[in-house]
């Protein structure tokens, strides 16, 4: 029973997914399985390893971020979920369905009804109005014109583009164009949305606004969103969970704070170093729950480290309270310093490991 519920909570399951680009991927796959590195395989056979044995369980109703630099295979990974790219080996299940066993007709039906996608370069149809663009997915699905345009108009309003229904995409700014892309995906009313570097092409301020809008929408929609980015700050801001990808392999997967607090290797530490950790880390993840002394000064559990720093000028520790106002732990200056300190392999990692 418990096992069953857990299975139903997983929206996307990838197991051992490997992708090799080249004329004869099986030979390269055998080499890779024999323990050779990505670079060795490329040097010996000329094949490029896109994904190397990726296994991920992505739970329902959360934003799962895959973070990696360019060439890390993150765009390849997201395209496996709706099979825009076929894997060389591995299993992919979406909503309990085996995506790889689908024939072409089933696959089209799956793309039309179960999954929507937002693209880095927007992928809008330049010859169509904003309204017709947002209605495009429904049109492909075969929804009647009046119905799909009504739905499209609703979503255009939700993303804040009312008044632009009859504009052409090129008449809009980048941020507005991506709102059209987002509305087009949302209009599909699918449980799963794939977002491939959706905000990367936008100016920083616009990007931040789009992130806020996505989080706000997610509070009422509870979609399963697989979000790809190269921006660690973006990953920390919107992700419920984060997987870090390098050379096609998953380096670390966990809650944002786990990754900031316990980067599993030097590559991830490189990302973490430039992050404002004081803003990324919530006090509840580093508080001490072993002893609870009554305290006059308290902060809520979802306060961030930067919020408690001012108190430490006068106090050694302060209490942490939950949403009901009950004290659930306390936090010391020492713990905060430990959490914010730089990772170095020779020093034991802070508590929580």
Partner 1 sequence: MFPDVIDTRPLRRAVDNGLNWVVRNWGTELEAAASPLLRLLNAIEQLLLATPWWLIIAILVGVAWLATRRWQLPLVVFLSMIFLGVMDLWRDAMVTTALMIAATLTAIVISIPIGVWMSRSTRVRQIVTPVLDLMQTMPSFVYLIPTVMIFGPGRIPALIATIVYASPPLMRLTDLGLRNVDPAVMEASQAFGATPTQKLFGVQIPLALPTILAGVNQTTMMALAMVVIASMIGAGGLGYQVLQGIGRLEVSRGLFAGLGIVALAIIFDRITQAYGKRLQARIGISEAR
Specify the pairing of strand 63-67 against strand 89-94. Answer: unpaired
The residue among 170 and 326 lying less far from partner 1, judged by its C-beta, is: 170
- Minimum distance between the CB of residue 112 and partner 1, rounded to whole angstroms? 4
Q: Is 304 in the site for partner 1 (CB under 8 A)?
A: no
- Chain mean position to CA 335: 28
Name every residue whose Cβ is closer than 8 Å to that of residue 271 and which is 6 or more positions away in sequence. 67, 232, 244, 263
Q: How many binding residues for partner 1 (CB under 8 A)?
A: 29
The residue among 128 and 338 lying less far from partner 1, judged by its C-beta, is: 128
Q: Is 121 in the site for partner 1 (CB under 8 A)?
A: yes
Q: Is 174 in the site for partner 1 (CB under 8 A)?
A: no
- Minimum distance between the CB of residue 139 and partner 1, rounded to whole angstroms? 8
Distances (CA, A) of 116 to 134, 141, 155: 12, 12, 14
Name every residue whose Cβ is closer than 8 Å to that of residue 326 and which is 6 or more positions away in sequence. none
- Minimum distance between the CB of residue 312 and partner 1, rounded to whole angstroms? 50
Q: Is 137 in the site for partner 1 (CB under 8 A)?
A: yes
Q: Is 312 in the site for partner 1 (CB under 8 A)?
A: no
Q: Is 116 in the site for partner 1 (CB under 8 A)?
A: yes
- Minimum distance between the CB of residue 201 and partner 1, rounded to whole angstroms? 11
Q: Is 58 in the site for partner 1 (CB under 8 A)?
A: no
Q: Which of 64, 122, 227, 317 binds partner 1 (CB under 8 A)?
A: 122
Asked if 131 contacts 156 with a C-beta cutoff of 8 angstroms, the reply is yes
d(C-alpha 82, C-alpha 193), whole Å: 10
- Minimum distance between the CB of residue 136 and partner 1, rounded to whole angstroms? 6
Strand partners, 48: 21
- Computed from CA positions of residues 318, 321, 325, 326, in that sequence, does the dihedral angle turn out positive or negative? negative
Q: Which of 20, 63, 117, 161 binds partner 1 (CB under 8 A)?
A: 117
Q: Considering only 9-17, 63-71, 107-115, 342-350, which stretch makes contact with partner 1 by CB under 8 A?
A: 107-115
- Minimum distance between the CB of residue 317 and partner 1, rounded to whole angstroms? 52
Name every residue whose Cβ is closer than 8 Å to that of residue 14 and which is 6 or more positions away in sequence. 54, 55, 56, 57, 77, 80, 81, 90, 91, 92, 93
102 C-beta neighbours (distance < 10 Å), count: 16
Q: Is 170 in the site for partner 1 (CB under 8 A)?
A: yes
First to last CA, the chain: 30
Q: Is 155 in the site for partner 1 (CB under 8 A)?
A: no
Specify the pairing of strand 327-332 against strand 241-246. Answer: unpaired
| The pair of three-digit structure tokens given for residue 41, joined into one six-digit string | 């395989």
204 C-beta neighbours (distance < 10 Å), count: 10
- Chain mean position to CA 126: 28
The residue among 223 and 284 lying less far from partner 1, judged by its C-beta, is: 223
The residue among 125 and 347 lying less far from partner 1, judged by its C-beta, is: 125
Query: Could you list the residues that contact partner 1 (CB under 8 A)?
Result: 82, 84, 107-113, 116-117, 119, 121-127, 136-137, 139-141, 168-170, 188, 194
């Amino acid at each position: 029973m418990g096992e069953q519920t857990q299975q139903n909570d997983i929206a996307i399951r990838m197991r051992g997914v490997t992708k090799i680009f080249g004329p004869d991927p099986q030979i390269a796959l055998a080499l890779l399985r024999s323990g050779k590195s990505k670079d060795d395989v490329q040097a010996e056979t000329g094949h490029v390893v896109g994904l190397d044995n990726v296994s991920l369980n992505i739970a329902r109703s959360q934003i799962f971020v895959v973070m990696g630099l360019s060439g890390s295979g993150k765009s390849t990974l997201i395209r496996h979920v709706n099979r825009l790219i076929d894997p060389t080996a591995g299993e992919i299940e979406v909503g309990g369905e085996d995506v790889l066993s689908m024939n072409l007709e089933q696959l089209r039906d799956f793309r039309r009804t179960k999954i929507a996608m937002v693209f880095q370069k927007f992928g809008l149809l330049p010859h169509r109005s904003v309204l017709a663009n947002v209605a495009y997915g429904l049109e492909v699905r075969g929804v009647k014109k009046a119905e799909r345009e009504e739905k499209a108009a609703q979503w255009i309003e939700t993303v804040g583009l009312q008044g632009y229904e009859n504009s052409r995409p090129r008449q809009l700014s980048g941020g507005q164009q991506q709102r059209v892309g987002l509305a087009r995906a949302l209009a599909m009313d699918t449980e799963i949305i794939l977002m491939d570097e959706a905000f990367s092409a936008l100016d920083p301020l616009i990007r931040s606004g789009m992130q806020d809008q996505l989080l706000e929408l997610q509070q009422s929609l509870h979609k399963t969103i697989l979000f790809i980015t190269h921006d660690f700050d973006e990953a920390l801001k919107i992700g419920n969970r984060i997987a870090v990808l390098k050379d096609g392999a998953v380096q670390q997967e966990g809650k944002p704070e786990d990754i900031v607090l316990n980067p599993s290797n030097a590559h991830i530490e490189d990302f973490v170093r430039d992050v404002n950790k004081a803003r990324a880390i919530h006090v509840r993840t580093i508080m001490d729950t072993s002893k609870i002394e009554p305290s006059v000064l308290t902060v809520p559990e979802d306060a961030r480290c930067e919020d408690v720093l001012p108190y430490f000028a006068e106090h050694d520790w302060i209490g942490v309270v939950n949403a009901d106002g009950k004290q659930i732990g306390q936090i010391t200056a020492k713990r905060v310093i430990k959490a914010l300190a730089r990772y170095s392999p020779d020093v034991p990692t802070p508590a929580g490991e």
